[in-house]
Amino acid sequence: MTRPVPMLLLLLAIAFPLSLLAGRVWLDFGATPNAMVILAELRLPRSLLALVIGAGLGASGAAMQGYLRNPLADPGLFGIAPGAALGAVASFWFGYAASPILLPLFALAGAAGAMALLALIAGRTASGTQGIALFTLAGMMIASLAGALTSLMISLAPNAFAMSEIVSWLMGALTDRGWGDVWLAAPLTLTGIACLMVAGRGLDALILGDAAARSLGMRPAMLQAWLIAGVGLAVGSGVAVAGIVGFVGLIVPHLVRPLTDRRPSQLIVPSALAGALLVLVADCICRILPTVTELRLGIALSLVGAPFFLWLLLRMRRGSGGRLA
């Protein structure tokens, strides 16, 4: 067990019970009507879903930064989250979003399509610097294409109500989520994190360089396949039930990396726990803020993540003598 894991587990043990009580109306089991129903049917699945989504995003960010050897890498940049968003928007566009199961299924289909396309393009050259560059460019192309198609569908929305629903969903939120969303996202996210942990040994070998990694038995194509599967399941399932929640995969590896030995394999689990904690706390803040309507989770995390990204860029600039590495 790496050093930050016990600390993060302790923080989660404190934050999780508090999240069950937090909201516009703080639960008081002696005074709040139907307090147990609110707890069991609203607060508990919402808090569990925050943990699941945050864990998937945090672990994916750690794995992608390790694979690309780039501290600015974020799982949302490689097409899977935009692909899932495109699938979800398609369900709104065709009028299937009213079904509690069809919307996430459309989103998962979009994520699966992006995964397949990424594997098809990048898998042809899976080794060395060229393979990593091709993987990055393929992901960015898929993200750009999915974003353009999503914008096209929004502009051609059949009515104003559908457009409003699409835009609201894309902002990312855990409002009104229930047990069905938990049962859908949790198994897929945990499977994705398991795939990333399997890839951890190969990620550690990459630190030594491509030639040394291959001499240690690392198979580039297999490593890339585990990463695509892991990120696809962990990120795609989160987008399927909550919309776009950004910056978690970028922020949390930086926060926990100094507490580890900096090996990618030792960063995946702490990043998953830190991501779970970050999304849980952010969702609690969204619930209790005295706004007219509840602040969307995706907006709240972007308000934190964008300044963090700027700070990271400035730190890299100072560390490279006035130029970005």
- What is the SS3 string spanning 260-275? CCCCHHHHHHHHHHHH
At 183, list the tokens.
């049962």
Tell me the Cα Rg of the chain. 20
pTM for the model: 0.89
Position 321 scores a pLDDT of 47
- The phi-psi region of residue 260 (left if phi > 0; otherwise alpha if psi is between -120 and 50; otherwise beta) is beta
Give yes or no for a contact between 263 and 225, defined as CB atoms under 8 angstroms apart: no
List per-residue pLDDT tens for the chain, 325 residues long: 567 899 999 999 999 999 998 888 788 777 778 888 888 898 999 999 999 999 999 999 999 888 887 777 787 777 888 898 999 888 888 887 767 788 888 888 888 888 888 878 776 555 556 667 777 788 888 889 998 999 898 888 877 777 888 888 888 889 888 898 999 999 999 999 999 999 988 888 877 766 666 776 677 778 888 888 898 899 989 988 998 898 898 889 988 988 888 888 899 999 999 999 999 999 999 988 888 788 899 888 988 888 887 887 787 777 654 433 3
- The phi-psi region of residue 161 (left if phi > 0; otherwise alpha if psi is between -120 and 50; otherwise beta) is alpha
Give yes or no for a contact between 243 and 172, defined as CB atoms under 8 angstroms apart: yes
Structural domains of the chain, with CATH: 4-12+26-317 (1.10.3470.10)
Q: CA-to-CA distance for 147 and 108, rounded, in angstroms? A: 16
Burial degree of 312 (CB within 10 A; 0-12, 13-18, 19+): middle
At 230, list the tokens.
């892991």
Give yes or no for a contact between 296 and 171, defined as CB atoms under 8 angstroms apart: yes
Q: CA-to-CA distance for 89 and 126, rounded, in angstroms? A: 32
